[in-house]
Amino acid sequence: MGDTRETPDECILYEKKPHGVVRCQCCCFYCTIQPGGVGHCGVRVNEQGKLKLLVYGRPSAVHVDPIEKKPLYHFFPGTECLSLGVVGCNYSCSFCQNYSLSMSMRDKQEAGADIEELAGHVKHQSRTMSPADIARYCEDANLGVAFTYNEPSIACEYWVDTIEALKERDGQHYVVYVSNGGFTAEQAELLSRTVDPRYFGLNIDVKGDQAFYKKLCKAPLQPVLDSVRRCHELGFHVEVTTLVIPGENDSEECLSMIAREVAAVSPNIVWHLSAFHPDYQMQDHKRTSLAILERARAIGEREGLRYIYLGNVHNDGSTRCAKCKAVVVERRGYGARVTQKLVVDGRKGTCVCGEPIPGVFGFE
């Protein structure tokens, strides 16, 4: 692992091999990259025996979003965060709803682009924004920061430096990863050394069973499940999302497996069940009905999960106490309001009935 970088765009998560070869330690593919070669993600490249990050300081999407849009419902509800994403991804999901960002590098790679051409594409598709720029913006606007839109773990060095820059500013800021979960134990360890775990929230996609991952993501399931457990054990706040696609991952067997795996880590982990809409390479599939999502929620409840929300449909997304059913966080669309039924003390939230509400509701 290259902890000493000569330039900011040199990666941390890699090891050097003989003859200028490098082995990336960023994601579950652990790419072995020849000199002049490119990793599976399209943004980590071997330049003369050093692994470089093409998207360092080059976000392609920058917006201020409500935290509920990530979605995170039990992590600073009602707040906003500066949300950033770059191009590239380590997965190849046929149903990707941000494919213009995530798949643009893959398309260039398949067309035979070399490093120079890939770097030119990144420059054309992005703006310049250093870690210090991001930290300054978050401080001035009193915002948290979310690394999202594409898979953040492929650009972890950019985000780690951003977290370090935030720590040098005044004020308190939370950090969010919206991830496919296919990152390594090495990356989780790096994050745990960098971020304050009390204020680090992740939404991790658990998309389906192994057959689903093989068919539609070209990636393995187990590293994702490992990430959910590992991040929970590290003290990070973890929520899980499943995009429910009719005919692909909506069977009782598949949904039960996901819910059972999540509940085995903790029954208090939030499960978001989102409706699919036709996109990218799956234009021929129908939208997910409310009835399918309600059935999925019933499966999750049967497996022991206590907080389940339906997304991309019109329904009540409010947070209710699992014991007395009082509304502790009221939601309308992406808007959220903590009600008088929730007593917030530092990070912790408790219903007026005395039931603890899992999550992070403020700074200590």
For residue 93, say whether it is annotated as part of any ligand binding site. Answer: yes
For residue 27, say whether it is annotated as part of any ligand binding site. Answer: no
For residue 217, say whether it is annotated as part of any ligand binding site. Answer: no
For the chain, the three-class secondary structure string (H helix, E strand, C coil) is CCCCCCCCCECCCEEECHHHCEEECCECCCCEECCCCECCCCCEEEECCEEEECCCCCCCEEEEEEHHHCCCCCECCCCEEEEEECCCCCCCCCCCCCHHHHCHHHHHHHCCCCHHHHHHHHHHHCCCCCHHHHHHHHHHHCCEEEECCCCHHHHHHHHHHHHHHHHCCCCCCCEEEEECCCECHHHHHHHHHHCCHHHEEEEEECCCCHHHHHHHHCCCCHHHHHHHHHHHHCCCEEEEEEEECCCCCCCHHHHHHHHHHHHHHCCCCEEEEEECCCCCCCCCCCCCCHHHHHHHHHHHHHCCCCCEEEECCCCCCCEECCCCCCEEEEEECCEEEECCCEEEECCEEEECCCCEECCECCCC
Q: Which residues are annotated as part of the binding site?
A: 89, 93, 96
Q: Which residues are annotated as part of the binding site for [4Fe-4S] cluster?
A: 89, 93, 96
